[in-house]
Structure 1
Amino acid sequence: MTEAAAEKARQGLMREALADVLLDRAVWTNARLTAGRQHGVDLHEETITQDLLLDIARALPDLQIKTYTRAQEARIGGDWQWDWWFGGYRWFGLRLQAKRLKRIRRKVLGYDLGYRVGARRTRQVDLLTEGARRDSMDAAYVLYNGPDLDLRFDWVCHRLPASAPFFGVSILPAEVARQLADANTRDLTTVAGHARPWSCLATCPLGGCTNQGPWRRWPPDDWPDGVERDLAEQVAASFHRIAMQSRYRQDWGPQQEQQLYQRVQAATTPDRSQYIHQLLETGNIAAAPRQVMAVTIFDETRRRA
């Protein structure tokens, strides 16, 4: 994995290289959680996330990845939050929070999307969503899936065959997670049907996760501004497409494609955020929001300089 992905990065195939790494780490996560179960070791979200931090940074040196981590003692409640920033002609930020697949009720497997923290018992999904909005970025859950993963859900992806290892790490937009938490639908079958393999963030040859209907190849050549799509905009488009599919499913046409374009333009900015400026200048993660335990910057701008 590492050598093949690194070679793609050296050739300038950044999106493909990132997709390879994300897919490989999903397979690893599923195997790691399975091994933990077999040996009686209960792996928590933070442990898996720290391993992923290191592996992604090591695998793609030509993408100019910079990772910053905060001391464990400095945590401010709740689970680990991890910021991703993609830099190119524009910038796209995504705040991630991890959840493991586990038993949420007797005989029911799912994800604790309704988890509450603090003296006020505030829902974590609300803190995640609202905090990301204040920092002008999007938010998502990364779902870690081990030996309990049952594939009897709506596997929508037609890029990858249905496989537990490919779904070892999946991604669920926080706006969708919030709707599921509001409806108290946190079971595996429902949540997984809205999630996607996290490698879909980086590459997908289709304009949607179906081989039926009027989906177009991605990215479309006739987007209004005609600007070359860079990694930041490609990832933003993939992410917002996943979120929109929860609403539109098969009902997709020119209106939805225009809406996707507008969402991508709103989600990406001409320049990085102020705290990313400070991080790159000083290396001091204290510039990041206090609840964020790690920041990874995928910076194409330095590579092109």
Structure 2
Amino acid sequence: MKPPAKSLCKTFLELGDAVSRNLHLAYGSAISYGEETITESTLLEIWRRHSKIVKIRTFTKRQEARNGADWEWHLIGRKYTLKMRVQAKRLPKNTLQFPGLFTYKAKSAPHPQVDMLIAEAKRDRLLPILCFYSKESAKSRWRKSAMPSPYEAGCLIGPARKIQRHGYQDLASLEARCVPWHFLVCSQQGRSLFFPSVGKLNGRTQIRNGEIPSYIVPTDGYLFRPIREPEGEHGPIGLVTIDCRDL
């Protein structure tokens, strides 16, 4: 399978591959390669390569944000804009489980992290997403053979509500409810996803299944809406907007 030609799509493939390979190296060394480091270095590279269409705005540092790489992502299409709240988790060394996935709570937080992700995403009309960082050898479903050659899937994304409802913490079970993150910006025709494809955001195909959810908004109104910093102690670290109108 050849990699798609679109440059943003290729960037997501390359950076997901780099996360997988870097985790493999980090696990075999004394070097820490944590969630914040992965998220921030990856976002920096996306912006470096695509600064004309990618905007990154950071907010005041908050305690909750420092314990989960909690970001908002907005994908802007010609017709619709998809708004997401994304929380990242790195697979720990020497395990195929994400211990505490549903119970971890920051010291200053009133509730477990995943509960707050879902509740605050609902309040702010965002799609709550969990992003899992893992190395190639830990995966069973999204192995290199299931990816465009020669890439590894280091970043998997899944719907937080569904993941919490099923209650599994092992990577193999989580993989069944996730897709590689390049699906966000690559053309994925014929696939049924938990988020609209770039083609649907751009109006090339219809968004079906009844009423459009609150986390998908008309782009015309979105583009002229002022961006305000979230209120409260436990808001996101920042906002990533990607202009997908020419994809």
TM-score by length of 2: 0.77
Report what 2:97 is aligned to: 110
After TM superposition, list the pairs within 5 Å mapping 1:1-305 onto structure 2.
16-63=6-53, 65-70=54-59, 72=61, 74-76=62-64, 78-88=67-77, 89-102=79-92, 109-112=96-99, 113-117=101-105, 118=107, 122-146=111-135, 149-153=137-141, 155=142, 160=147, 166-181=152-167, 185-208=168-191, 229-231=200-202, 258-259=208-209, 262=210, 264=212, 266-270=214-218, 271-272=221-222, 277-279=226-228, 285=229, 290-299=234-243
Please list every run of 5 or more consecutive structure 1 residues that lacks an aligned counterpart in the other structure.
Answer: 9-15, 211-217, 220-227, 238-256, 280-284
CA contact (8 A) 2:126 2:214 kept: no
Q: Say if 1:158 and 1:209, in contact at 8 Å, map to a contact too.
A: no
How far apart in 2 are the matches of 1:135 and 1:146? 32
- By how many angstroms is 1:82 displaced? 0.8
Q: Tell me: CA distance 1:189–1:300, structure 2 relative to 1, closer, same or farther (3 Å).
A: closer
Distance in 2 between residues matched to 1:273 and 1:144, nearest whole Å? 31
Partners of 1:17 and 1:146 lie apart in 2 by 24
Give the greater-gyration-radius structure (CA).
Answer: 1
Cα deviation for residue 43 of structure 1 reads 1.4
What amino acid is the match of 1:140? I
Using the TM superposition, give the Cα deviation of residue 263 of structure 1 relative to its aligned residue in structure 2, in angstroms: 5.9
Preserved contact between residue 23 and residue 199 of structure 1 (Cα < 8 Å): yes
**Do the aligned partners of 1:156 and 1:193 also contact (CA within 8 Å) in 2?**
no
Aligned-pair distance for 1:289? 7.9
Aligned partner of residue 277 in structure 1, secondary structure = coil
CA distance in 2, matches of 1:50, 1:173: 22
TM-score norm. by structure 1 comes to: 0.64
- TM-superposed deviation, 1:94: 0.7
Query: In the TM superposition, what is the alpha-carbon distance from 1:123 to its structure 2 partner?
Result: 2.5
Aligned pair count?
234
Question: Hey, what's the Cα distance between the residues in 2 that align with 1:97 and 1:76?
Answer: 11
Q: Percent identity?
A: 20
Partner of 1:282: none
- Cα deviation, residue 95, structure 1: 0.7
What amino acid is the match of 1:293? I
Judging changes above 3 Å, is the alpha-carbon distance between structure 1 residues 288 and 22 closer, same or farther for their aligned structure 2 residues? farther
Distance (Å, rounded) in 2 between the aligned partners of 1:94 and 1:135: 10
Once the two structures are TM-superposed, the CA of residue 205 in structure 1 deviates from its matched residue by 3.8
Letter in 1 for 2:179: R
In structure 1, how many angstroms separate the alpha carbons of the residues matched to 2:154 and 2:135? 6
Higher relative contact order (CA 8 A, sep 6+): 2
One-letter amino acid of the counterpart of residue 237, structure 2: M
| 1:265 CA drift (Å) | 5.5
State the secondary structure of the residue aligned to 2:222. Answer: coil
Matched residue SS, 2:190: coil
